[in-house]
């Protein structure tokens, strides 16, 4: 078995501290809403006076328990998240008063049916496409329904004024986090991809939001100063990698850390473990529900068909982050990303003329050796 390097993982640390904080919030009577996907409209949850928390799990240890109910050949993110629920090992799930899921992929939407045996689950029906007028109307109706569900569940009124307020706050947070992720555009990179990603994703478990984002803004400033002082104009022979594909929450060490150990820098993330959701703000001048519907529906994900925005963003990111090669991460049995990888490979290799590799993996350590060999060979050709 190959030993992965022991690195300080800010994400795991923050997640553990978040366990204590969420209990404190519950003790104060704050309502908690668990979410699974980037399409979850957090503005509505905050406007209901509740606190959203991500239930997407990267934990391998509970997958065997999940497989008692779920098929083995299923995305590890789905199995692990469900495992957290059945084993009561995740305080975020345990303390959630309501779980909001979206019908993003078949695995998730059928898993929610089982989850309903344990928790109050509200499922939002996500359109399959973003391009038609009726897709917008359909998604807007789902937001109106969620607004009503939250109002009834928590006995509150979600006024337009509260929504406008939470739109402003979330937009401010998005801008701060996006600027942090965009440190990857600097060449040479002032922070490793592992540290950048683990710090940015850790914010999701900081419930002292203002302080958490203030700290991220400070770090961005400090790292920009470090770049100007120590790195600007220096040459490095470490190739620059863009990660694309499925969320990397459960494979951060296995893939991102591994790539950096092998001598490349991960500088950008075109995935839900990156700035994808922050690239478009909610329009503060529009009617709030319309503006929220428009923003979230525009998120590009392989669950949409077709998915043209992903290629637009890939195009921009490969140029803006001065990328030398693209690594696509596909979680086992994720059909939408797996099939879309055909077009992604063609686009990266033939339109952008950059080397591309796709890795299909899960949260286990069984393929560590094979992964290392493939990544090493890929980095050597860059
Ligand atoms: S990859 Fe797609 S389905 Fe998965 S969390 Fe992101 S938006 Fe949701
Ligand atoms: S990675 Fe793919 S299969 Fe897994 S939850 Fe996301 S869309 Fe579904």
Predicted confidence (pLDDT) per residue in 329-366, tens digit? 999 999 999 999 999 999 999 999 999 999 999 999 99
Rounded Cα gap, residues 337 and 57, in angstroms: 18
Provide mean pLDDT across the span 24-45.
Answer: 96
Provide mean pLDDT across the span 243-270.
Answer: 97
Q: Residue 5 above 90 pLDDT?
A: no
Ramachandran angles phi, psi of 114, nearest 5° = -75, -35
Q: From the CA of 91, how far away is ligand 2's center (Å)?
A: 23
Least confident span in 80-84, 204-208, 306-310: 204-208
| Ligand 1, atom 2: closest residue by C-alpha | 301
Report pLDDT for 83.
96
Average pLDDT, the chain: 95
Report pLDDT for 241.
98
Structure tokens, 309 = 């925005």
- CB of 35 closer than 6 angstroms to any ligand 1 atom: no
Q: Residue 4 above 50 pLDDT?
A: no
- CB of 55 closer than 6 angstroms to any ligand 2 atom: no
Predicted confidence (pLDDT) per residue in 136-145, tens digit? 999 999 999 9
User: How many CB atoms are located within 10 Å of the residue 287 CB?
Assistant: 12
By most ligand atoms within 8 Å of CB, the mutation choice from 248, 274, 334 for ligand 2 is 334
Provide mean pLDDT across the span 286-312.
Answer: 97
Report pLDDT for 15.
85
Q: Residue 186 above 60 pLDDT?
A: yes
Q: Residue 1 above 90 pLDDT?
A: no
Domains of the chain: 10-156 (3.40.50.11890)
Report pLDDT for 8.
67
Q: Which atom of ligand 1 is nearest to the CA of 302?
A: 2
Nearest CA among 66, 82, 147 for reference residue 116: 82
Rounded Cα gap, residues 263 and 266, in angstroms: 10
Q: Residue 71 above 60 pLDDT?
A: yes
**319: CB partners within 8 A, 6+ apart:** none
Asked if residue 31 lies in contact with residue 51, where contact means CB atoms within 8 angstroms, the answer is: yes
Rounded Cα gap, residues 54 and 35, in angstroms: 5
- CB of 300 closer than 6 angstroms to any ligand 2 atom: no
Identify the bridge partners of residue 269 per DSSP, sorted by sequence position: 243
Q: Residue 3 above 50 pLDDT?
A: no
Asked if residue 47 lies in contact with residue 158, where contact means CB atoms within 8 angstroms, the answer is: yes
| Ligand 2, atom 1: closest residue by C-alpha | 246
């Amino acid at each position: 078995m190959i030993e992965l390097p022991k690195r300080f993982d800010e994400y795991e640390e923050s997640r553990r501290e978040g366990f204590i904080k969420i209990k404190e919030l519950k003790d104060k009577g704050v309502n908690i809403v668990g979410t699974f996907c980037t399409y979850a409209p957090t503005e509505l949850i905050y406007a209901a006076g509740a606190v959203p928390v991500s239930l997407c799990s990267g934990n391998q240890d509970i997958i065997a328990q999940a497989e008692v109910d779920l098929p083995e050949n299923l995305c590890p993110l789905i199995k692990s998240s469900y495992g957290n629920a059945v084993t009561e090992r995740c305080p975020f799930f345990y303390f959630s008063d309501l779980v909001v899921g979206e019908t993003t992929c078949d695995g998730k939407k059928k898993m929610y049916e089982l989850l309903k045996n344990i928790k109050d689950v509200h499922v939002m029906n996500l359109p399959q496409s973003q391009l038609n007028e009726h897709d917008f109307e359909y998604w807007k109706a789902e937001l109106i329904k969620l607004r009503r569900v939250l109002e009834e569940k928590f006995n509150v009124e979600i006024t337009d004024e509260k929504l406008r307020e939470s739109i402003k706050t979330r937009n401010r947070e998005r801008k701060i986090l996006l600027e942090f992720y965009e440190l990857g555009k600097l060449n040479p990179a002032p922070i490793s991809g592992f540290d950048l990603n683990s710090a940015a994703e850790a914010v999701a478990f900081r419930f002292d939001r203002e302080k958490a984002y203030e700290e991220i803004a400070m770090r961005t400033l400090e790292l920009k100063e470090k770049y100007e002082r120590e790195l600007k104009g220096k040459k490095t022979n470490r190739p620059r990698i863009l990660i694309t594909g499925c969320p990397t929450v459960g494979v951060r060490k296995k893939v991102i850390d591994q790539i950096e150990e092998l001598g490349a820098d991960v500088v950008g993330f075109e995935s839900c473990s990156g700035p994808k959701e922050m690239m478009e703000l909610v329009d503060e001048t529009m009617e709030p529900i319309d503006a929220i519907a428009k923003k979230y529906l525009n998120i590009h994900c392989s669950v949409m068909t077709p998915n043209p925005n992903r290629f637009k963003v890939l195009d921009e990111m490969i140029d803006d982050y001065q990328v030398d090669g693209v690594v696509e991460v596909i979680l086992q049995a994720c059909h939408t990303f797996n099939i879309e990888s055909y077009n992604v490979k063609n686009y990266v290799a033939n339109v952008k003329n950059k080397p591309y590799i796709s890795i299909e993996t899960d949260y286990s350590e069984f393929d560590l050796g094979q992964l290392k060999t493939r990544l090493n060979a890929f980095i050597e050709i860059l």
